[in-house]
Structure 1
Amino acid sequence: MAEKKRTALPLPEDSETREKYMSLGDHLEELRQRLIYSILVVSVFMIGTLYFGSEIHRFLIMPYKAVLGPDAHFFQIQLMAPFLIYLKTSLILSVLVSLPFLLYILWGFIAPAVDPRTEKWGKFIILFSTLLFWSGLALCWFTVFENFLRVFLVVLRPDGVDPYLPIDEYYDLFFNLHLVFGASFQLPVVLILLGRIGILSSRFLISRWREAVLIIAVVSAVLSPGPDVFSMLMLLVPLSFLFFLSALMMKVLETTDSK
């Protein structure tokens, strides 16, 4: 007798029920599609940043020229350094600009596995995390990076030393310092997530605020770009504020959960 042909059952339209029916292969296929979408988003932004590469370069070296004067120049030590810098700058800026879209695409993969309330908070965390990251970048750009260059290229430079930098070293310093500040500003996100999973509480944070500020001061001294107190304070003050803001937000969330 001929074996009856099996027909696949259609997946339910409800996302929560559909999640239960999805196999490991289905999950991997969806993850692959979302990775492709993420690469396409970054690629679109990279086309724009590469097209305006010269204008972006002139904008990013403004702190350097503000310290050493409008006639300041760079040295090219490696043959392919300028070309690689264009690609690196384009990639990093494209990822930073498209960060909300990338996080939203990733969250779309995770959301079906969580309850509706967690899904709503997840979208808020994505927006909050992105704003904090860009705030850290803005703080470094407007207050810290130029001061860092001035300290090492002018204040601490001995006589008879050429202050001009290799182009690749400048961009390494630029991106490393800005990313340090952007990552440091994720402190509230980390604390709130630890609070949501029950590891920390607002009462614990408030009771240990002195130790927390001391730890933040040590971290700020290590991560601050220059040996001067100004650079340290530019990281210490906002991180301390974000710590207390995190404790307040955790308190509000705990009060809401208890109702």
Structure 2
Amino acid sequence: MTLRIDLNADIGESFGAWRMGQDAAVLPQVSSVNIACGFHAGDPMTMHATVRAAVAQGVAIGAHPALPDLQGFGRREMRITPEEAYALVVYQTGALAGFAAAAGSRLAHVKPHGALYTMAARDAALADAIATAVRDVDRRLILVGLAGSELTRAAGRAGVPAASEVFADRRYEADGTLTPRSHPDAVIHDLDIAIVQVIALATRGEVAARTGERLRLAADTICLHGDRADAGEAARRIRQALLEAGVTVASL
């Protein structure tokens, strides 16, 4: 059996005079990118440039819609209704789809960002609103969500394809949820440890929870956070480790 997995990264997170990430170094190493749509990061000029760079690299393009929270980088939860979630996702996905079309390409997927992602992972009503928004923009779009979460189940209910996502550099709780970022051990900073987690997920569908339990998770795509200080090096080493383990890196 040939092992195959998508390696994705969140990019395009600069805006105005603010620069974040190592997009030029990350792009050649990944097979998909999730591009910020202006609500948690990014702006029209950054979206335009990032889409063009992704097209030139032959990388699959995805929208990365978020809660309207530039100051909190979209990682603070907000009380929103399903109707608001629907509108947020349609608005942001549609904007990035326009840039993709202008560059002679199209969106391949949608992956909610930050708090919107984690809220929808556990809230079926929010997840259904997001999945419906994706379907209404373009039912060919793949909805990327946390493996085993409400978001991937909502994709099935809405009739859109789903991809189960796992994380290279995040800790897991025993129930399969991500360790909250408020916890000091939420992010794996040691790249060697992150690579061990990546290979276990890609080859066996397994991960060790923060408290030691062994979890089984479906893994269609692995996320590397583009805001890591070593994002470029991390992307290069993770891709190399996957190839050495006999895993083909390819877009969804």
Superposition TM-score, scaled by structure 2 size:
0.22
Superposition TM-score, scaled by structure 1 size:
0.21
Between structures 1 and 2, the one with greater helix share: 1
- Greater C-alpha radius of gyration: 1
